[in-house]
Structure 1
């Protein structure tokens, strides 16, 4: 069951979405596939929730980064702007000249780089508002041109943003009218050299054609007629340009704004399979007047997971133009490349390397998990960053410097990167993240940039690792359920049982959090924990369903009359049934004269008497924590010390013998009246090492014992007839139980098949219950036995004869006969007092 549950959950974990934030194929379906997708979606949701918790725990132990600072056009900034009377300040969006002035001012205040997280997909509807802001106002007839001039004032210090969409059909550039003529605007060695001229053509809203000629390329611009062509050439500084009619074949060499943008922004990545990147369907990039080689471009799109939370940023995406795939960077990645002074990107071992300075974990689809340096998004616009600044403060500094006054705000930007973003207005600028429901997009970009600059990110474990963890936790759950199932027998145990599962789950969650915090490694949590809980629950159900079978097995193995207490113990721990060697006490008894008794009774009476006798016997054995092994005709075999261990097995066996004698004595009158018979029994008890356990064949088995103590107990029971006794015990039993019970030595005998003599004892009674007359009998008997072994047979004969006559002692009577023989024929000089019993019976004893 653990394997099955672990495989199912492991498969769900293993077949996760290939990209960190790549959406699944949600095409409708029925049957097993739809159920699998639904279960996987639920599991992914739980896993993302566990990831968010770990992110916040890591943020608690982190310091907010100061490498990036957010400059936010927030609600307070717009409120201040609405009250200002300067040209264009109160309008929204601001004229791009104002934005350019802010970018220029930020670099003057020491910013290493300014990331302009503002969209410029269309030409500015505004006009230039303040000639003082532009370095060359006479060359900036438009707001876009003024913005471009301000950016070029500090070359390579600003990056512009673009956005993309991966869903829906590919959006083609809008069709433009035909241009019957074309004008030659220059010849260049390579297409890269011609980009500036192409951008100039596109900036004036004319089509550009990049036509190869030999080893060079020519730049042509579209025109409506020859006059328009000459005007275009003059506008772009070409006095006497060649003018031709446009040919249909020229369209193959036409360059649009998107073509130019892709050429300017694409990056080359060594070791990356671009086919695995997110395929972009539509781009929204800055307008043509802003497409200059001195600038940089990066994507600011932040796709969310299916639950609407942004956890990762796509640093690389793919865009296909005319059948050729191009790789485009994110804005933080483009900024890191600019700061590192490199264009070299390399992907290896799950990391994107930016030159030789920085490396960031990234999956093959181009996504990198954001490593948040705070548990919650801070107030205002800073998100998880250390600082944010109102854009109004920067704009006031711009105006102060333009009016030749000292800047009023010290924004402390020296050596830092600035993200100029908008947080006011509609909710498109805010995103749900693991650290908050409203995190500014600019702050997310700043955090991603800080991750790259610190080479600090989150790595997700491989599917193989998560699969192994899921399988392993499934086995842990099954193991806990089986190994601790005995705790379910009580309410306290059940609480402890569930508590162990909770503790194991909490331990794994803590380990996963530790690995995340210390090693920044995301290992699966929801899948393995669910596998453990599921396997635990399924195993419990399986255990309950088979509990009755286990009980039946226990009762069948131990016998019908097993003690309920012992059965419960064995049911909780089946290891008690395992065959093993133990020191135990074995008891075998037999009804005296049973053959003669059975011949004189009707079968119904015989069975009734026999059943009552066995009931008494079984009750006594069970009352002393013993187990009835088997009934062999009129013989009963029982043992103590298994399946539940006890060191008092010898005491319990002796106690059972005494209790049985008393029980039978109390029933004699009733049996004689009912059946016309009285019963007496003989028993043998011995203690020693035996093998105990469930033994037998595939067809029938029983919980029984094997060993020398079993055989000796049977022979002791038999030789009771020799001495006229009822309970004989072995020497080991007498030694163990002598602190509670009184024994007397009956004889030392040599049994057939046993090289060593056996000391035989008779169980007399419990200490403290021996009467004075019985004590006198035992004293005289001991005197006689001592004299007997010292070869003083006359003295021994006299003592034994007195005991036999006065106390009707059958054992003493046996010794009277022996002493009489030895008085006539003394034993040999090497006689050791051991009596040989080759055959049981009175004849052998008297010999």
Structure 2
């Protein structure tokens, strides 16, 4: 570890990490714009990918009253007379709409038609002019609209714009903000506003600004809920509509103060608390693409063609989607997105804060920590690795960070930046990958020297090729597995000094491994004295069952040879128990990102271990499964059936066999006893106790085949007859221990 931490490659990795972290503090516009642009693209991708196919639904109905092309064809060009707007509000209220919010402001009074007539006809007699003047109040459409506003729940829009001269009037601020003029704040500040004329504003329930907050790439991803105007905070249109809808009297701004600086933490109204960033902004919780909310043409409302069910109990945002009126925005979910629908999305998020993505005030600290930790870990993990391993580490790191980022977004509703972390992973991968590629030949030699003693040479070659990109993928395959265990090893080991035990195991395992290698096997693992070997992976072997059994027979012969040598050293003799199973297994590189092993899993593997443990019970050296038996008899291997059993923890019946050797290697006496054995087992399984008893006695006297095993069967028969269990006999014996 210390060598890694002081290596040149590790230090370069740290330098790359520091460089990526430093991008946050490089105050160069082009650099920051590039970072924001790419981060914005990732944000948009994540948002679009996680938009539900089924749009969210709440009890509150939010609708858009659209002054569209159809409305302008039927009702005339925009802007409409205040009389028509008043009629629109009246019909909405009559239909049951509870709050109306205008994405429009009325900065100038509408000229009275009487004044127009008098101005055009100055030659009229005084008496006529007075008579016409009396009609002025009846066509004062501003007053008509104001009267409608005073009897309705309506929020008017206004626009902060420092490039224009202040016009219109703002209402008294409804936001309680305890901030002194000496304290600096990150909230946007304006000096000029385009408000509504006093007649309308004083009659309306409230007002909210309609400003949008595009990022440096022009996309609208966030919405400002508050802006500062002459030392007072004013709400956005959506925030004010939410306040009116919830019947809240005011909005409280909660800030954190340190010295002469103030950081906004969030806004509360009624029972709702909305966390914001220090600028008073939130991420817009887009419901979907354009027209995710119900759109109703304004002319359909005026002509009473709108669906009453959509209007009753709804909150209506009045705006326009007409291209000619230029209220279309570039957003994460569309580049021709109506601005009025942005307000609708924000309103729904304010009423249901649980759907709002949160931007934590410690986001920069989190990103700094993640970059530092990721850079440090990747530098440690990638140092001295081959290109394939580096790519794997990079992929795991990439997936891990993307998964964490998307989990925070999807489940926790927390938005975290992602681009810099992905950039760091890419740069470290490129650097360490190039270093690893240049040292590939050296690494391949290290692999060969490292694994020569554990796997066959052909497997070494495959490992070398895997360093070039070929992976030993996990797959299902028909295989054979062998378990070989020294009998009573615990007792035996107590007779050795630690040095002698190490030498003893080394001599045994070296010889055993050589036998397995010679028969195309692969050492899966050593566990103390236990050897686990597999066939037909990673290299294909059509005769895997036969090669496994040959290895087992040779291992038994090996124990006889080793025992003679061990006696000469005053060491105890050894005896093996071997279990072999054949079947479908899952094989491949398995484990954690820190350590993997090429190994096998599956029921067939477990069966091999179980039947190995039964060799001592039956007094035999080798036991194989029925699947193994059926594979090897085709190759001339003579076996005898030992039992039909259920192993502990399994419901399936298993037949187990003992391989004796190839037919050409067995004596005639043994072959004769094999035939007698088959008859005895058939009689035993069929419940013909007398015949089985007689034949088993003959076999026991012959001593060519396992004596202990025949004693076990004779004892079972005696118990079955004595306990009168014969009528329920199915030939299956259940083992209660592993």
- Within 1, Cα distance between the matches of 2:27 and 2:306? 65
CA-to-partner distance for each residue in 1:50-106, whole Å, 9 max, x for gaps? 21122223421651555321100111222223xxxxxxxx34321111101211221
**Residue 358 in 1 paired to residue 272 in 2?**
yes
Equivalent in the alignment of 1:783: none
Note closer, same or farther for the CA distance 1:440–1:748 as it changes in structure 2 (3 Å cut): closer
- Within 2, Cα distance between the matches of 1:362 and 1:650? 66
After TM superposition, list the pairs within 5 Å mapping 1:28-427 onto structure 2. 34=28, 37-60=29-52, 62-64=55-57, 66-81=60-75, 90-125=76-111, 127=113, 139=137, 141-154=139-152, 157-165=153-161, 171-173=164-166, 261-262=169-170, 264-265=172-173, 267-270=175-178, 275-292=185-202, 294-320=204-230, 325-340=231-246, 341-347=248-254, 351-374=265-288, 376-378=289-291, 384-385=292-293, 387-397=294-304, 410=308, 412-426=310-324
- Within 1, Cα distance between the matches of 2:73 and 2:175? 40
Post-superposition offset of 1:501: 3.0
- Within 2, Cα distance between the matches of 1:472 and 1:344? 41
Note closer, same or farther for the CA distance 1:651–1:309 as it changes in structure 2 (3 Å cut): closer
Q: Which stretches in structure 1 are left out of the alignment for 5+ residues?
A: 16-31, 82-89, 130-135, 174-256, 379-383, 398-406, 489-493, 558-563, 574-638, 653-734, 750-755, 758-847
Work out which of the two has the higher radius of gyration on C-alpha atoms and give 1 or 2.
Answer: 1
- Within 2, Cα distance between the matches of 1:392 and 1:78? 8
Higher relative contact order (CA 8 A, sep 6+): 1
Q: Which of the residues 6, 10, 13 maps onto 1:2?
A: 13
CA-to-partner distance for each residue in 1:738-782, whole Å, 9 max, x for gaps? 78999999x999xxxxxx99xxxxxxxxxxxxxxxxxxxxxxxxx
Post-superposition offset of 1:371: 1.0
Post-superposition offset of 1:533: 2.1
Contact 1:312 / 1:367 at 8 angstroms: preserved in 2? Answer: yes
Question: Secondary structure of the equivalent of 2:313?
Answer: coil
Q: Which stretches in structure 2 are left out of the alignment for 5+ residues?
A: 1-11, 116-133, 257-263, 451-456, 468-502, 516-554, 572-738
Post-superposition offset of 1:408: 7.7
Contact 1:265 / 1:296 at 8 angstroms: preserved in 2? Answer: no
After TM superposition, list the pairs within 5 Å mapping 1:367-766 onto structure 2. 367-374=281-288, 376-378=289-291, 384-385=292-293, 387-397=294-304, 410=308, 412-426=310-324, 428-456=326-354, 457-461=356-360, 462-479=363-380, 481-482=382-383, 485-486=385-386, 488=387, 494=388, 498=391, 501-544=394-437, 647-648=510-511
Contact 1:550 / 1:571 at 8 angstroms: preserved in 2? Answer: no
Post-superposition offset of 1:409: 5.5
Question: Secondary structure of the equivalent of 2:202?
Answer: coil
Note closer, same or farther for the CA distance 1:357–1:748 as it changes in structure 2 (3 Å cut): closer
Question: Secondary structure of the equivalent of 2:79?
Answer: coil
Post-superposition offset of 1:151: 1.5
Question: Secondary structure of the equivalent of 2:64?
Answer: strand
- Within 1, Cα distance between the matches of 2:243 and 2:372? 42
Post-superposition offset of 1:163: 1.2
Post-superposition offset of 1:504: 3.6
Note closer, same or farther for the CA distance 1:650–1:414 as it changes in structure 2 (3 Å cut): closer
CA-to-partner distance for each residue in 1:486-530, whole Å, 9 max, x for gaps? 4x4xxxxx4x76355335423432332122111111112222122
Post-superposition offset of 1:538: 1.6
Post-superposition offset of 1:331: 0.7
Compute the RMSD of aligned alpha carbons.
4.6
- Within 2, Cα distance between the matches of 1:153 and 1:556? 90
Contact 1:505 / 1:529 at 8 angstroms: preserved in 2? Answer: yes
Note closer, same or farther for the CA distance 1:40–1:543 as it changes in structure 2 (3 Å cut): farther
Post-superposition offset of 1:270: 4.5
- Within 2, Cα distance between the matches of 1:121 and 1:421? 16
Note closer, same or farther for the CA distance 1:396–1:417 as it changes in structure 2 (3 Å cut): same
TM superposition score normalised by structure 1? 0.46
Question: Secondary structure of the equivalent of 1:70?
Answer: strand
